[in-house]
Amino acid sequence: MHQLNTNRMRRDLRKIVDDVERTVQNMAGAGGEQFDELKLSTGRRLRKVSSQLAELEHGAIDRARAAGKHTRDYVHNHPWVVVGSLAALVIALGVLTRRRR
């Protein structure tokens, strides 16, 4: 799902860039109606992408909060497992850094 949203957003951003490039190229020679149409099309796509970015941001925030809550709950329910794991990590890092000298 996340990858689909990312791909869709990439495609929409590419369309916006293409519209802007086309608008700039046609600015000198285009009539007012054609320019207004390009401007409206670009504005719609930009609002759509902005909305999708906001949705992705909210989803990422929700996932991060859920992960934080899960981690907090695990630490509260299994404190000695966490302490032991951290102690093992510190010992391993100590051994690795001492060997490098």
Give the domain extent around 86. 2-100
Q: How confident is the model at residue 100 (pLDDT cuts 50, 70, 90)?
A: low
Give the pLDDT of residue 80.
95
- Give the model confidence (pLDDT) of 8-41 as tens digits: 777 777 777 777 777 666 665 556 777 777 777 7
Count of structural domains within the chain? 1
User: Contacts by 70-76 with C-beta closer than 8 Å and gap 24+?
Assistant: none
Give the pLDDT of residue 17.
75
Return the number of other C-beta atoms located less than 10 Å from residue 45's C-beta: 19
- Give the model confidence (pLDDT) of 62-97 as tens digits: 999 999 999 999 999 999 999 999 999 999 999 999
Give the pLDDT of residue 43.
77
pTM here is 0.53
How far is the C-alpha of 18 from the C-alpha of 72, rounded, in Å? 46
